[in-house]
Chain A
């Protein structure tokens, strides 16, 4: 596939300028390629962290469900449903901010803020509920932290993927559009300049021949 050449004046100065632009484009492509590699390494690391976190979350939720099932077995479905009617939900909020990450890209940062009252009070009736229910709540609260961190990692991974995609597009544009275009233009300008040189040389030779003929006459 031949690249379209740029509309330039075929001058030597333009040729120099085009060559400089080509060198610059190649340099930029190399830098972008290195950025891309760094981003891919960061992506792999974040993906591994997300995988570990997902496993931890799974484990935590399994423990919580297991404790919930134990509670249900101890106090029964009726009592558990009844207790759930008045149990206050876990109050929490997620604070979102950004922090510079790899290559200075602003990465999202999620922070789970739990609204804890100043006075510690039992959540459930102390006589009716077994300790498994409180342990379950504690596990779910921990799981909530994991969920928020996992959401943060997912957002970071999405951000990295977007930047990778952008960088890849930039590299492709430089490598497969700008550089071939510059190369085509350089070749065109070189051809024109060679043609001009050849014409000039012929013209010089004709003039020289005519001058010699005049001298002979």
Chain B
């Protein structure tokens, strides 16, 4: 997965980084993802997951994607079960604590059909940060002495050349593609992010290509009126897709909370027979619908409105 520094710079130099419109459809955007790519997924757990892009990747029958994400929720189940990925690098993997351990993750990893490569949460963040900084590795003080470190073969314990202290060196992570969902961006890809940023900014700056989905496209004039609010700059972005409810059934800060009824139903469906349950879910919600709006129809207007009411209520404080 590691790219040489010169390759990384050459790939960046080759991108069209001009101030240009890059709005396209979901289907066109996932055309920028190649089979075998390393793909970083923005957001965390059930928050700002770029679900519409994952939906489109699965429908496009991509294969052998090597995924990384800070914490992996239901999208990990779906990437394994659809055959799109057999390798997810993450720090925690299950729908969420209230739903218990993911039976789908267990089924695929315990049978060795897919790999859950476990790193500490901070180490994943620092790997993206090193990638964004254009340096080959970064030292850290966690993970030393644990079996989490013991299982990894691309880390190195050293004595600090200045102080003599033990530190752990971890390699930069420069994904081929980053998929990120934001509340607002312009047609050039200048993105504003409300609330929790997770690892999205480092991830975007580390990646070779960045695909944004956005709840809505705003004008470049609005961006220029508040440039301090731009969290990801257009020079790092290759595609923009406007997708309302693009994280559903997960949440998008200040716009909608998670769709708990749907997530409870998913947990129940996959609890009995994980593989049959997830296959049924993929058929009904992923392969069946003609378009994203049809997918949202299946979630139901009642659930979308309830999640929206809860989502916006955060601004009442």
Do A and B bind? no
List B residues at the A interface (Cβ < 8 Å).
Answer: none
